[in-house]
């Protein structure tokens, strides 16, 4: 296996019990979002089977997010899940976990109930979200309602277009009397502001040898899509403020051939890892999925343990590990999107 990335196949609740206490410097993970619609009605073991209906919508919805059964259940919402993660995380260690805007609160409460300290909510904003809307007027037509009734409800629906994905940033309580003492004792307790600072292109450099000026990192990131860019003001110099928060959505290179439906962009995963741990540290992803956390960690010289239960995603991860073994350098797959604004910088400035 790669010296930097290790796969632990199996149920994360069981695999977590095999790690020693206070083992990991940080955790970065993208757990199931549990986006249930009619799952509560048809998805329980004792419930009647879902009726397919004319368009098959009930059958699809009862299979959770994008037809994936792994997104059902409530593992992300259980304090005992995160208590197991808490045990293997070093005191002062940070955990960053994605979730959906509609279900984020359930995970956030579970994290706190497990004993983790809530430090911040980060927002990854994008313009290409697809709403799973239920247009009322269209279904009134199917019910045979009058034109007057249909027109009354024209334009009414059930959901907004998703444009924001929240990320919980939490910390295991300190075991030392101060953050400074914790940093000295375990190398954890603080976040790396310098490594995650945003490039500031407004300040000119005297030469190319000078370091790129930076702005203090914020809790907002976005994908660079035109819909998002249009919401940011443009300064007198013609540059948009959006360039300080830019992180493109997952590209083909980010996916590495994986069919996983929720692959995260490498630039975003690298930014999160750099925020919470230094090079040489060891992180955990208890919901390995496509392996995005592992590949980002390898790019940064960070060790990563991935836990994954599904055989098809285990195969993706093993293929990626094999790729890492067969190349001297991990490729950079965090290039900006082609529709980026002129002068827009990604989260990672060029090295100097």
Write the pLDDT tens digit of every residue in 102-145. Answer: 899 999 999 999 999 999 999 988 877 778 889 999 999 999 99
156, pLDDT greater than 90 = yes
The span from the CA of 263 to the CA of 18, in Å, is 27
- Over 70: is that where the pLDDT of 42 sits? no
Among the listed ranges 109-123, 244-258, 265-279, which one has the minimum average pLDDT value?
244-258
Structure tokens at 237: 């110099």
Question: What is the rounded distance in angstroms from the CA atom of residue 241 to the CA atom of residue 244?
Answer: 6
Which among 324, 327, 346, 350 is positioned nearest to 335, based on CA atoms? 346
* 3 state SS of 8: strand
pLDDT reading at 293 higher than 80: yes
Average pLDDT, the chain: 79
Q: Which domain holds residue 121?
A: 5-34+74-127+163-325
- The pLDDT of 325-337, averaged and rounded, is 49
- Within a 10 A sphere around the Cβ of 325, how many other Cβ atoms? 11
Instruction: Provide the pLDDT for residue 237.
Output: 64
Q: How far is CA 162 from CA 127, 165, 293, 305, 311, in A?
A: 8, 8, 23, 31, 30
Question: How confident is the model at residue 39, as a pLDDT?
Answer: 42
pLDDT at 67 over 50: no
Q: Judge whether residue 339 has pLDDT over 50.
A: no
Highest mean pLDDT among 33-47, 124-138, 306-320: 306-320
What pLDDT does residue 249 have?
Answer: 61
Per-residue pLDDT, 248? 57
How many whole angstroms separate alpha carbon 199 and alpha carbon 248?
Answer: 15
Query: Once rounded to an integer, what is the mean pLDDT over residues 188-197?
Result: 92
What is residue 314's predicted lDDT score, i.e. its pLDDT?
93
Inform me whether the pLDDT recorded for 63 exceeds 70.
Answer: no
Q: Does residue 295 form part of some domain?
A: yes
Q: What are phi and psi of 5, to 5 degrees?
A: -120, 130
Task: Determine the average pLDDT of the residues in 191-220.
Answer: 78
Residue 332, both tokens: 């950079």
Place of tokens 């035109």: 226
Q: Which pLDDT belongs to residue 235?
A: 64
**Phi, psi (degrees; rounded to nearest 5) at 285:** -130, 100
For strands 198-199 and 164-171, give the pairing.
Answer: unpaired
Token pair for residue 169? 């940033």
Per-residue pLDDT, averaged over 162-173, amounts to 93
Q: Look at residue 161 and tell me whether its pLDDT is greater than 80.
A: yes
Round to whole Å and give the CA distance between 133 and 325: 45
68 inside domain: no
Cross-strand bridge partners of residue 5 = 304
Is residue 267, in this structure, part of any structural domain at all?
yes
The answer to which of 30-39, 169-178, 264-273, 337-346 has the lowest mean pLDDT is 337-346
Angle formed by the axes of helices 104-113 and 79-88, nearest 10°? 50
- Position 132 scores a pLDDT of 83
CATH code of the domain containing 304: 3.40.50.150
Specify the pairing of strand 282-285 against strand 24-29: parallel
- Pairing mode of beta strands 214-215, 89-98: unpaired
Angle 247-76-159 (CA atoms, 0-180°, nearest 5)? Answer: 65
Between CA 138 and CA 265 the distance in angstroms is 36
Higher pLDDT among residues 278 and 51, named by residue: 278
CA distance 308 to 317: 9
Share of the chain above pLDDT 90, in %: 49
| Better pLDDT: 237 or 95 | 95
pLDDT at 196: 87
Domain total for the chain? 1
Of 55-64, 82-91, 274-283, the poorest mean pLDDT is in 55-64
Q: How confident is the model at residue 201 (pLDDT cuts 50, 70, 90)?
A: low
Whether residue 308 lies inside any domain: the answer is: yes
| Residue the block writes with tokens 């094999």 | 322
Predicted confidence band of residue 41 (pLDDT cuts 50, 70, 90): very low
Residue 126 is predicted with a pLDDT of: 82
Tell which residue, 323, 122, 93, 82, has the closest CA to residue 222.
Answer: 122
Asked, for residue 157, whether it belongs to a domain, the answer is no
Which pLDDT value is given to residue 56?
A: 35
261 assigned to some structural domain: yes
With respect to residue 260, please indicate whether it lies within any of the assigned structural domains: yes
Under a CB-based contact definition with an 8 Å cutoff, are residues 110 and 81 in contact? yes
> Which residue is listed with tokens 């000026």?
213
**pLDDT-wise least confident of 2-11, 61-70, 326-335:** 61-70
Asked, for residue 175, whether it belongs to a domain, the answer is yes
Residue 313: how many other CB atoms lie within 10 Å: 22
Q: Locate tokens 């998002």: which residue?
A: 228
Number of CB atoms found within 10 A of residue 205's CB? 12
- In the prediction, which pLDDT does 320 show? 86
Q: What percent of the chain has pLDDT over 70?
A: 71
Q: Is the pLDDT of residue 83 over 80?
A: yes
């Amino acid at each position: 296996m790669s010296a930097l990335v290790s796969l632990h196949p199996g149920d994360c609740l069981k695999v977590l019990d095999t790690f020693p206490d206070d083992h990991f410097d940080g955790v970065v993970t993208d757990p199931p979002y549990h986006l249930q619609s009619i799952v509560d009605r048809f998805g329980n073991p004792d419930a009647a089977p879902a009726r397919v209906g004319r368009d098959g919508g009930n059958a699809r919805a009862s299979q959770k997010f994008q037809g994936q059964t792994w997104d059902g259940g409530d593992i992300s919402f259980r304090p005992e899940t995160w208590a197991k993660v808490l045990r293997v995380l070093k005191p002062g260690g940070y955990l960053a976990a994605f979730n959906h805007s509609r279900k984020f609160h359930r995970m956030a409460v579970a994290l706190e109930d497990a004993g983790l300290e809530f430090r911040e909510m980060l927002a990854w904003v994008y313009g290409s979200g697809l709403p799973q809307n239920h247009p009322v007027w269209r279904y009134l037509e199917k019910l045979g309602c009058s034109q007057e009734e249909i027109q009354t409800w024209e334009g009414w629906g059930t959901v907004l277009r998703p444009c924001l994905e929240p990320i919980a940033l939490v910390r295991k309580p300190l075991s030392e009397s101060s953050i400074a003492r914790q940093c000295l004792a375990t190398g954890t307790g603080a976040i790396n502001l310098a490594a995650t600072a945003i490039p500031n292109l407004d300040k000119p450099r005297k030469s190319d040898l000078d370091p790129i000026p930076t702005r203090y990192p914020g809790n907002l990131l976005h994908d660079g899509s035109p819909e998002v860019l249009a919401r940011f003001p443009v300064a007198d110099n013609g540059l948009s403020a959006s360039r300080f928060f830019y992180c493109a959505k997952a590209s083909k290179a980010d996916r590495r051939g994986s069919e996983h439906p929720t692959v995260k962009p490498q630039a975003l995963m690298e930014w999160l890892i750099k925020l919470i741990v230094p090079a040489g540290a060891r992180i955990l992803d208890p919901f390995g999925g496509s392996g995005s956390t592992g590949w980002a960690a390898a790019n940064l010289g960070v060790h990563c343990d991935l836990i994954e239960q599904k055989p098809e995603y285990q195969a993706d991860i093993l293929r990626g590990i094999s790729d890492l073994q067969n190349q001297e350098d991990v490729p950079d797959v965090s290039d900006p999107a082609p529709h980026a604004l002129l002068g827009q910088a990604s989260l990672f400035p060029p090295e100097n």
